[in-house]
């Protein structure tokens, strides 16, 4: 592993980004035999990017400017696609820029990836920094995902992925709305490390409850065929149980049908055509080098 590119979306929060690159620098100083570059995908920020001071351990920072706000998933997908077209690398590290993905855990990701060799490694959340209500609904989301898809998605964007996996997932249209599930659905094997969800460097969390719900549907929609098959089985089972559970049965069936409609609607956000043309919203780029 000689070349690693770090990809992070940024939306207005340039103070956090500047702090992030300095924190990354402190972590990667120890890896003398690895060359690091960083791609920041500016997600149509209203605030102009300030002058960026390049730290010693990062060889290049390139800022890709989206013409309009597209969201984290599109930014990450564009970052991956751009890296594959324009750079030689062995691995990509994907992370948020606000401090919630802790830069010090890059050390653990790289070490685990070096031990496993040619296997992508994800940062599995074992502790979160949000309040009780958010945590409750997050755990409910994980349970629903497991029940309806058979998949346990206990990680987010924070990961180190091999070039081979990057080349595979960038061909899957579902990456447009969910990186984590697309990786889970395409990688034959994934390693993991335990990580703690950090606190934002500046300002409140940008993941309100409604956004969490939409994000949850996006995660599940990647496995829509699993959802449809399992839902059909649940509907049949509820029909048999109706004489025992009464009105609970038709109400549950209605909720399952509505749930499936929502999953289908979310899944329509992706297509091969949208994947092919997603980088048309990229504007000018800015490169900072030593």
- Structure confidence by residue, pLDDT tens digits, 118-132: 999 999 987 655 666
Q: Is residue 223 part of a domain?
A: no
Sign of the dihedral defined by the CA atoms of residues 8, 12, 14, 16, in that order: negative
Residue with tokens 């987010």: 156
Flag whether the pTM goes above 0.85: yes
How large is the average pLDDT for residues 63-75? 91
Q: Is residue 266 part of a domain?
A: no
**What range does the domain containing 72 cover?**
3-131+153-205+271-289
Give me the chain's average pLDDT, please.
91
pLDDT at position 192 is 96
pLDDT at position 182 is 96
Q: Is residue 141 part of a domain?
A: no
Q: Is residue 231 part of a domain?
A: no
Q: Spell out the residues 6+ positions from residue 267 whose beta carbon is closer than 8 angstroms to its own.
A: 174, 221, 222, 224
| Residues 157 and 76: beta-carbon distance below 8 Å | yes
CATH of the domain at 193: 3.90.550.10
196 pLDDT tier (thresholds 50, 70, 90): confident
pLDDT > 70? residue 209: no
51 pLDDT tier (thresholds 50, 70, 90): confident
H helix intervals, the chain: 14-28, 72-86, 106-116, 132-149, 163-169, 179-186, 209-221, 224-245, 248-267, 272-277
In the chain, the number of structural domains is 1
pLDDT at position 128 is 57
Q: Is residue 263 part of a domain?
A: no
Q: Is residue 240 part of a domain?
A: no
pLDDT at position 49 is 82
> Rounded to an integer, what distance in angstroms lies between the CA atom of residue 86 and that of residue 238?
53
pLDDT at position 205 is 65
48 pLDDT tier (thresholds 50, 70, 90): confident
Nearest CA to 110 out of 158, 73, 72, 155 is that of 158
User: What is the H or E stretch that residue 68 is in?
Assistant: none
- Structure confidence by residue, pLDDT tens digits, 165-177: 999 999 999 999 9
Q: Is residue 260 part of a domain?
A: no
65 pLDDT tier (thresholds 50, 70, 90): very high
Q: Report which of residues 122 and 283 the model is more confident about.
A: 122
Q: Is residue 32 part of a domain?
A: yes
Tokens of 155: 């990680």
Q: Spell out the residues 6+ positions from residue 209 whose beta carbon is closer than 8 angstroms to its own.
A: 133, 134, 137
The pairs formed by 127-133 with CB atoms below 8 angstroms and a separation of 24 or more are 127/196, 127/197, 128/196, 128/197, 129/100, 129/196, 129/197, 129/198, 129/199, 130/197, 130/205, 130/207, 133/209
């Amino acid at each position: 592993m000689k070349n690693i590119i770090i990809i992070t979306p940024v939306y207005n929060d340039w103070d956090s980004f500047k702090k992030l690159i300095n924190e990354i620098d402190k972590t990667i100083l120890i890896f003398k035999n690895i060359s690091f570059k960083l791609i920041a995908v500016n997600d149509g920020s209203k605030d102009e990017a300030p002058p960026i001071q390049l730290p010693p351990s990062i060889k290049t920072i390139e800022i890709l400017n989206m013409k309009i706000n597209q969201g984290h998933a599109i930014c990450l997908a564009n970052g991956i696609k751009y890296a594959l077209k324009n750079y030689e690398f062995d691995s990509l590290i994907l992370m948020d820029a606000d401090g919630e993905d802790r830069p010090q855990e890059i050390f653990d990701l790289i070490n685990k990836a070096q031990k496993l060799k040619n296997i992508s490694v994800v940062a599995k959340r074992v502790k979160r920094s949000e309040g009780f209500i958010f945590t409750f609904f997050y755990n409910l989301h994980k349970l629903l995902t497991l029940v309806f898809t058979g998949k346990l998605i206990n990680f987010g964007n924070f990961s180190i992925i091999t070039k081979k996996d990057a080349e595979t997932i960038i061909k899957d249209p579902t990456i447009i709305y969910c990186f984590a599930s697309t990786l889970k659905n395409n990688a034959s094997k994934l390693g993991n490390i335990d990580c703690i969800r950090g606190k934002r460097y500046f300002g409140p969390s940008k993941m309100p409850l409604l956004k969490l719900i939409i994000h949850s549907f996006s995660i599940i929609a990647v496995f829509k065929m699993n959802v449809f098959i399992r839902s059909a089985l649940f509907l049949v089972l509820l029909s048999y149980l109706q004489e025992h559970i009464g009105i609970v049965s038709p109400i549950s069936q209605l909720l399952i049908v509505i749930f499936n409609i929502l999953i289908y609607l979310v899944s329509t956000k992706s297509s091969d055509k949208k994947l092919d043309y997603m980088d048309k919203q990229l504007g000018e780029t800015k490169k900072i080098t030593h």
